[in-house]
């Protein structure tokens, strides 16, 4: 009688969540320090001290009626201006405040964008491995999910497969680089080829295909690597940004949508974004957080810890004989399962108290995801276990 789909979504735990809960049970049994939980992507590094300093300043100095009051639905103009300025400082895209819409984090950025773009039956392409909530968000917005698998090994886009998947119903493709779960960054060459293909197909099919760039991990890259900014390469682009990971504020729910000024009829799409935000119940993004991030653009939490964790893991695991995807960004490592079935490998890993998420949950077989946003001490202690686990396969 009530919505069956919503009930099912509420009742069905994700594999990640199940593993995390198994971990909690195990920790109670054998002690927290003896369980090596790589399941969740929850930042372990605290927010930079500046976050709290700015909040304290706002709370003591700003008029409370303004500070805690409604902003316009798209966000306070001063905040939207700060976002546009920060984008223009890094990229050549002519961002303007009137195309910035402040949101309650990345998930809200995505649901609002999808509801603005999609009509019932429109198709959205996701590149596997992919964040499993994409499917939930697309289907709730009336869309149909088309999965295109990335190339095994380097996890760049398989353009033959992509071209076959595009048809006249294709409305958008979600790009997530640095990627959850693989940690891979899509190369400039990949983005250029993608843009060419989408332009060609748009013309052939006489349609508009949008790239939705989901960028919660943009700042989390560890070498001198460049993460191409999609609106510099492709016109019909919408950026979904979040401060959750870069500033370690995942519970506070703050991010934004940026509609590229080069989108065909960008102002109309922006109006649809406003309409979708309204219809989904997002009145405005939390005001204190809006004013806070406006003063923090360009800052990040101390990501050196993540870099150190990554280097430690990559070096040791490679040494033990594991194969890992090129670990350029985010805080995930995608490790090839030594046996074909990643779920069976993940089960075996439990013997050594290692909690690794099998990649099937991300629409890809044969890998496990390790979240290395954990304490370095835990990683150090876990390494001999990884060695013993691999020894089983020798």
Contact 35, 26 (CB under 8 A): yes
In the complex, what is the shortest distance from the CB of residue 322 to a second copy, in angstroms, rounded to a whole number? Answer: 29
> Counting Cβ atoms within 10 Å, is residue 72 exposed (0-12), middle (13-18) or buried (19+)?
exposed
**Minimum CB–partner distance for residue 324 and a second copy (Å):** 26
> Could you tell me the smallest distance in angstroms from the CB atom of residue 27 to a second copy?
17
In whole angstroms, the minimum distance from the beta carbon of 107 to a second copy comes to: 4
Q: Report in angstroms how near the CB of residue 73 gets to a second copy at its nearest.
A: 9
d(CA 75, CA 64): 17
Give the pairing type, strands 357-358 and 367-371.
antiparallel
How is residue 168 annotated by DSSP? T
Name which of 135 and 326 has its Cβ closer to a second copy. Answer: 135
Please report how close the Cβ of residue 247 comes to a second copy at its closest, in angstroms. Answer: 8
Q: Of the two residues 46 and 384, which places its CB atom closer to a second copy in the complex?
A: 46
CA angle at residue 374 from 317 to 181, to 5 degrees?
65
Contact in structure between 359 and 327 (CB atoms under 8 Å): no
Task: Return the number of the residue (132 or 338) whose C-beta is nearest a second copy.
Answer: 132
User: Of the two residues 142 and 384, which places its CB atom closer to a second copy in the complex?
Assistant: 142
SS3 347: helix
Q: Which CB, 1 or 224, lies closer to a second copy?
A: 1
DSSP string, 302-326: -THHHHHHHHHHHHHHHHHT--B--
Q: Within a 13 Å sphere around the CA of 116, how many CA atoms are in the beta-carbon half?
A: 25
Least distance in Å: CB of 19 to a second copy? 16
Minimum distance from residue 149 beta carbon to a second copy (Å): 25
Which helix (H) or strand (E) element contains residue 292? helix 287-294
Say if CB 42 and CB 64 are below 8 A apart: no
* Nearer to a second copy (CB atom), residue 263 or residue 335: 263
CB of 188 to a second copy, least distance (A): 29
Task: Confirm if 190 and 157 have CB atoms less than 8 A apart.
Answer: yes
CB-nearer residue toward a second copy: 139 or 158? 139
3 or 29: CB nearest a second copy: 3
Cα angle at 170 between 168 and 171, to 5 degrees? 120
Closer residue to a second copy (CB): 123 or 328: 123
Look at the alpha carbons of 62, 63, 69, 70 in this order and tell me if their dihedral is positive or negative.
negative
CA-CA distances (angstroms) from residue 393 to 38, 217, 319, 323? 21, 34, 15, 13
């Amino acid at each position: 009688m009530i919505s069956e789909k919503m009930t099912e979504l509420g009742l069905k735990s994700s594999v990640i969540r199940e593993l995390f809960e198994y971990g909690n049970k195990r920790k109670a049994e054998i002690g927290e320090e003896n369980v090596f939980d790589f399941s969740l992507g929850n930042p372990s590094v605290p927010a930079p001290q500046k976050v709290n300093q700015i909040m304290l300043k706002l709370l003591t100095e700003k008029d409370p009626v303004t500070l805690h009051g409604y902003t316009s639905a798209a966000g306070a103009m001063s905040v939207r201006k700060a976002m546009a300025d920060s984008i223009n400082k890094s990229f050549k895209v002519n961002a303007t405040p009137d195309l910035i819409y402040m949101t309650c984090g990345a998930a809200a950025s995505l649901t609002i964008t999808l509801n603005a773009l999609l009509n019932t039956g429109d198709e959205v392409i996701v590149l596997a491995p992919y964040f499993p909530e994409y499917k939930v968000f697309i289907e709730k917005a009336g869309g149909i999910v088309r999965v295109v698998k990335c190339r095994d090994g380097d996890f760049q886009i398989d353009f033959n497969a992509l071209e076959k998947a595009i048809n006249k119903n294709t409305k958008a493709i979600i790009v997530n680089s640095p990627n959850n779960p693989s940690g891979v960054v899509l190369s400039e060459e990949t983005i250029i080829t993608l843009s060419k293909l989408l332009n060609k197909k748009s013309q052939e099919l006489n349609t508009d295909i949008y790239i939705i760039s989901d960028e919660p991990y943009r700042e989390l890259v560890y070498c001198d690597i460049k993460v191409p900014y999609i609106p510099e390469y492709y016109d019909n682009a919408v950026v979904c940004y979040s401060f959750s990971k870069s500033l370690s504020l995942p519970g506070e729910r703050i991010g934004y949508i940026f509609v590229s000024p080069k989108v065909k009829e960008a102002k109309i799409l922006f109006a649809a974004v406003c309409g979708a935000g309204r219809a989904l119940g997002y009145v405005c993004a939390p005001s204190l957080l809006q004013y806070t991030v406006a003063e923090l653009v360009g800052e990040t939490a101390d990501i050196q810890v993540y870099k150190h964790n990554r280097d430690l893991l990559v070096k040791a695991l490679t040494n033990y004989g594991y194969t890992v995807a090129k670990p350029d960004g985010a805080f995930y490592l995608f490790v090839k399962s030594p046996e074909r079935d990643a779920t069976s490998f993940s089960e075996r890993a439990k013997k050594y108290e290692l909690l690794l998420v099998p990649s099937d949950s991300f629409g890809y077989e044969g890998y496990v995801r390790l979240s290395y946003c954990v304490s370095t001490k835990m990683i150090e202690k876990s390494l001999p276990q990884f060695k013993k686990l691999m020894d089983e396969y020798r």
